[in-house]
Amino acid sequence: MARLQILELPEGTGDDRPPFILVIDEVAFDNPVYERFVVDEELATGLANRVGAQAVLLFEDTIDIPANDTSAYAQPPGAALHLGDHELRADLAAAAKAQAEAIDDLRGDRR
């Protein structure tokens, strides 16, 4: 099944909002969506303009964007963190979420 991801780009001085590229991956080459993108060169450009992206990129392979890694949220509550001889038990998912929210606040991305 195809995935949608956002690849954030560095901001320029005249950017009203952070520029990004819309990445669509895991699209099989025999999928009608893939075929439409190949046949209609304006499809990607039109989609990018509608969503405010700099570009739309379509891939058959899986593209991992490190900034989109959400594996920290998948840890079970009460997981243990081992620091040398010490073990810290806490809800690491909640701590990771709070850290991400704090970063969003600093960037001004919080809605």
pLDDT at 17: 80
pLDDT for 90-104, tens place per residue?
555 666 777 777 777
Q: Which residues contact 64 (CB under 8 A, 6 or more apart)?
A: none
Going along the chain, which residue ranges are E strands? Answer: 3-8, 20-25, 55-58, 80-83, 86-89
Q: Where are the domains of the chain?
A: 3-58, 71-107
pLDDT at 68: 77
DSSP string, 58-86: E-SS----GGG--GGGGSPTT-EEEETTE
pTM above 0.85, yes or no: no
pLDDT for 25-78, tens place per residue?
999 989 888 889 889 989 999 999 999 999 999 999 998 888 877 766 665 555
pLDDT at 106: 77
